[in-house]
Amino acid sequence: MSWVVLFAFSLAFFFVLLFLLSRFVGYMKKEQNMEIESFRDTLIDKDNPVGLTGEELQKLKDQQAEAQRHLREVIARIPVVQKDGRFQVDEEEIRRRKSSGLVNGASDKAGKDPR
């Protein structure tokens, strides 16, 4: 039973201290004409989640844009057909390209060992 009284007293004391601290912070903000930023606002910047400098961020964005362009080009080279409402790789087109000597836009000789 005594621990319940002690817990209630400590909880009440904690809330009194919390109230006094909030009053003190409010007084200091008013006295010094300050504005305190929300901690949530400082955590993550949506445009810059890793905290890079402007130059590094722009360089990273450029690299990612170039990688996206390259990926679009590579995906566009893959022959696909729509069968049963689904896109599938066109195996006949791949066989035709292999027989004509072109694989991914390059000749088969490029991948062979010159020895």
Q: How confident is the model at residue 15 (pLDDT cuts 50, 70, 90)?
A: very high
How far is the C-alpha of 35 from the C-alpha of 64, rounded, in Å? 37
Rounded to two decimals, what is the model's pTM?
A: 0.40
Higher pLDDT, 1 or 5: 5
Tally the residues of the chain. 115
Give residue-wise pLDDT tens across range 50-80: 767 778 888 888 999 999 999 999 988 888 8
Lowest-pLDDT choice from 18-22, 52-56, 66-70, 92-96:
52-56
* Mean pLDDT, the chain, whole residue set: 82
pLDDT of residue 37: 74
**Distance from C-alpha of 108 to C-alpha of 61, rounded to nearest angstrom:** 35
